[in-house]
């Protein structure tokens, strides 16, 4: 196999990794905010449920969670599993896992906001929703961006775990080529791809941080 073919096949695997990455963020970021609200709720039952959910997601391996999401419907409901469900299961597994981490990051940011800001917004006639989305959330985003960036960079590398349910992302493709050609070159190229991917993410997050720098405090 020539070098060009290796790059082409790894590029196809990279496309799958990128798709997993963006779809996970698309679902996990808003889901994490919802879970954070549940975690801070005055309703004890809802608070307990979200606390258990976060504990399970953070306390068990993502690899195991992917297996449960993929094989669960068959063993619990005897639903036939199609090949197309593999990718869906990966997105579900990654989204619910990362939502738990984002939820705790959101919660920390929201609870760190001074109570006076809520009171000032109330005096100005803002509703609770307006207060949160116009005043509190932009400041929370600024405070939590470093932690969110760390999780997002971890997600880039975690996409390789999709192999556990036979989704051919980049690192799986690299291992297959390396085994077939008895060379580590594909693995080294995959490592370089991951580095560039992470570098792009880091630069993008740095620009977002600069955008929010006008929120001081």
- Residue 205: inside a domain: no
- Residue 187: inside a domain: no
pLDDT on residue 44: 93
pLDDT on residue 215: 53
- Residue 10: inside a domain: no
- List pLDDT tens digits, range 79-116: 888 888 999 999 999 999 999 999 999 999 999 988 88
pLDDT on residue 216: 55
Nearest CA among 114, 117, 139 for reference residue 126? 117
158-181 average pLDDT score: 92
27-44 average pLDDT score: 95
The Cα 29–Cα 96 span in angstroms is 10
The Cα 154–Cα 9 span in angstroms is 24
Q: Sorting pLDDT into bands at 50, 70 and 90, what band is 173?
A: very high
Q: Count how many Cα atoms sit within 13 Å of the Cα of residue 25 in the half-sphere of its side chain.
A: 16
pLDDT on residue 115: 87
pLDDT on residue 83: 83
173-180 average pLDDT score: 92
- Residue 182: inside a domain: no
75-80 average pLDDT score: 87
Provide the greatest CA pair distance for the chain.
Answer: 70
- Residue 42: inside a domain: yes
The Cα 171–Cα 177 span in angstroms is 10
Between residues 2 and 153, the one the model is more confident about: 153
- Residue 65: inside a domain: yes
The total number of structural domains that make up the chain: 1
Any idea what the CATH number is for the domain that residue 95 is in? 1.10.3720.10
Q: Which domain holds residue 121?
A: 18-165
Q: Sorting pLDDT into bands at 50, 70 and 90, what band is 148?
A: very high
Q: Is the pLDDT of residue 78 over 90?
A: no
Q: Which helix (H) or strand (E) holds 38?
A: helix 3-39
- Residue 134: inside a domain: yes
């Amino acid at each position: 196999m020539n070098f060009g073919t290796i790059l082409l096949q790894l590029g196809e695997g990279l496309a799958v990794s990128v798709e997993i990455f963006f779809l996970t963020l698309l679902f996990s970021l808003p889901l994490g905010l919802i879970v954070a609200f549940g975690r801070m709720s005055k309703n004890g039952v809802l608070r307990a449920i979200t606390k258990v959910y976060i504990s399970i997601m953070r306390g068990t391996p993502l690899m195991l969670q992917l297996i449960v999401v993929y094989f669960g419907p068959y063993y619990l409901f005897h639903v036939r599993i199609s090949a197309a469900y593999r990718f869906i299961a990966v997105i579900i597994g990654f989204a619910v896992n990362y939502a738990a981490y984002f939820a705790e990051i959101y919660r920390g940011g929201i609870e760190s906001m001074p109570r006076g800001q809520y009171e000032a917004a109330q005096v100005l006639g803002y509703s609770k929703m307006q207060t949160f989305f116009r005043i509190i959330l932009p400041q929370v985003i600024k405070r939590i961006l470093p932690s969110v960036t760390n999780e997002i960079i971890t997600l880039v590398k975690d996409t390789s775990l999709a192999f556990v349910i036979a989704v051919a992302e980049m690192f799986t493709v690299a291992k297959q080529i390396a085994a077939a050609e008895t060379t580590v070159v594909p693995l080294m190229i995959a490592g370089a791809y991951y580095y560039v991917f992470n570098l792009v993410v880091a630069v993008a997050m740095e620009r977002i941080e600069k955008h929010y720098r006008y929120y001081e405090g």
